[in-house]
Structure 1
């Protein structure tokens, strides 16, 4: 049976693109999105949004995507979520990091026919999206709360990639579930330990030492159990661009994981894919990055939520996808 446009749910604008695509697929509801950035200098879909569409096509059968010539109108008809082992790596591009793709992909493939294993290539760490490290450290524990088998969740970092040229690769494995389990999650607990990782690609490892000293200067007087590991890379595992960064994760007595992360590297302009203005500027000193990330972690902890602000959207989404049971959660 051929669907007419009357069967499609009509939406406007670019807001919530990932969530619209995900919920359309999970509910088997075809959608039409019109007026996508029609009033902007560079109208239409961005390269990372098109890449996300192609990723959904990869893990689904009979998925149909039609984009008009200017990219300002999208017609999307979802298919069957298959999952399985995807042999061909998916190129996420460099305008957004792999973290942008992980959230919708993981939630989608929880309801696939077969467990998913896929390789994603692109940017692993930047200052815009949650990193692959915090997704593994924080988001996986959120999924565990909702009944996802934690042992079968896997995210292996084969190589790190920073803007502007990426070059990172991760291998993601996602199990399937019959149903999610509603949660009663309102006790944020007290911080009992902090773990972290610094990384440096194609630059001196001294950058990592400087970030660790600066971060420890702020958090050591407050928490006694602090370990920050280093991940210095050169050659192919370091990707295609130099840079450095740090992530911190606070674990609480009630099993909450509060994460923050950032990276210093030269970026690309999201709209044009040209080198951004900051390419001519010096990168932020590692000492400032260490202090900034430690203060950011304290700020997230002070907001007294069971998850940090980066993963509130994922938490709401999982609550909405539970059966009719009521979930109780505490957010900042």
Structure 2
């Protein structure tokens, strides 16, 4: 059984998600200890439990330690099967973080997998649904993945209640991802979403105005998407995607009580301008999200520095025997699995 120290690096949930995914893909049982030891509330949280339970269903596996607050989990995978799976992450638990765990597994099923996840679609400390759809998914498609994605309902903090639908076909035609330069900036697309309760205050429109004020003098904002949605909680989100010749860079921010809508868009603008000034081809969060796929299919990505999540993914890939490495300002995998 492979042993993974969950306190590695920042000691967060990324080590758990990646370890379970690689366990299912390699067929190697894993014991993850000291889970989330680096957090103020260590151990398994409800959204981690839901991700593990979904992974177990996808790969017909067995596990011990599946309870809230557990600091150790033993995960034994079985065969990955196609079919339909409904995952209720609960309240505003992040559906995109659960996807980070189960999507690589679903891509290796023996047939089509249909997923419906309910919970938070636009919540703190996780990629927004629009970031997944318009920034992450295009990179997956370049690597040969066939994934369909729809937001059925939006879920904001604290009640959540959002729903996404994801359809995944077996990943048969793997293509390496070679991203060393972003290339020319072709345009910027923005996705501003707010709950219906915020329509009269034009929150979605004001978020766009705050973004354009900072970005328009420097770059062409080619696509502006404003949307008001029904939601169980009042909330808003703003996602911007810079489409480059060779890659994409995305950022997402959330509306908060007491923060002007214009400042929500302005914060996204400030972050995106910083990312565009960085010569690397991907934003800092995309690097860690795409790394498991580089481990599986091969490729290289230029990156001046690694986030805590990226370091966790690099370590877990190494433990499971994938030749992923970081040297001379780039992440490499020369061997295809």
Q: TM-score range by the shorter chain?
A: 0.7 to 0.9
Q: How far, CA to CA, are the matches of 1:318 and 1:232 in structure 2?
A: 34
Output aligned runs, 1:135-150, within 5 Å: 135-149=132-146
Q: Give the whole-Å Cα distance in 1 for the aligned partners of 2:182 and 2:221.
A: 18
Counterpart secondary structure, 2:112: strand
Task: Name 1:54's counterpart in structure 2.
Answer: 53
Report the TM-score when normalising by structure 1.
Answer: 0.83
SS in 2 for 1:108: helix
Q: Which residue of 1 aligns with 2:293?
A: 318
Whether contact under 8 Å (1:92, 1:121) holds in the other structure is: yes
Partner of 2:335: none
Counterpart among 2, 5, 23 of residue 12 in structure 1: 5
Which residues of 2 match residues 158-177 of structure 1 at below 5 A? 158-177=152-171
Check conservation: 2:24, 2:59, Cα contact below 8 A: no
Q: CA separation in 1, counterparts of 2:84 and 2:39? A: 39
Change (3 A) 1:115 1:305: farther
* Structure 2 match to 1:111: 108
Structure 1 residues 275-294: aligned runs within 5 Å: 282-294=257-269
Q: What pairs with 1:146-157 in structure 2 (closer than 5 Å)?
A: 146-149=143-146, 153-157=147-151
The change in CA–CA distance for 1:288 and 1:32 in structure 2 (over 3 A counts) is same
Match of 2:235 in 1: 243
Change (3 A) 1:95 1:156: closer
Alignment of 1:90-105 (within 5 A): 90-94=87-91, 96-105=93-102
Distance in 2 between the 1:204 and 1:182 partners?
Answer: 43
- Tell me by how many angstroms 1:331 deviates: 2.6
Change (3 A) 1:103 1:33: closer
Match in the other structure for 2:320: none
Following superposition, the deviation at residue 68 of structure 1 comes to 7.1
Post-superposition shift, 1:184? 2.6
Name the CA distance, whole Å, in 2 between partners of 1:203 and 1:20.
40
Equivalent in the alignment of 2:65: 67
Kindly state the Cα deviation for residue 136 of structure 1 after the two structures are TM-superposed.
0.9
Which structure 1 segments of 5+ residues have no match?
Answer: 1-7, 266-281
Residue in structure 1 matched with residue 280 of structure 2 by the alignment: 305
| 1:330 shift after superposition | 1.9
**Deviates further, 77-86 or 23-32:** 77-86
Is 1:186 the counterpart of 2:184? The answer is no
| 1:148-193 Cα shifts (integer Å, max 9, x gaps) | 24xxx21111110001110100100112123522233223112111
Q: What's the CA shift for 1:226?
A: 2.6
Q: 1:19 to 1:38 in 2, by over 3 A?
A: closer
Aligned residues: CA RMSD: 2.1
Structure ID, larger Rg: 1
Indicate yes or no: 2:117 matched with 1:125.
no
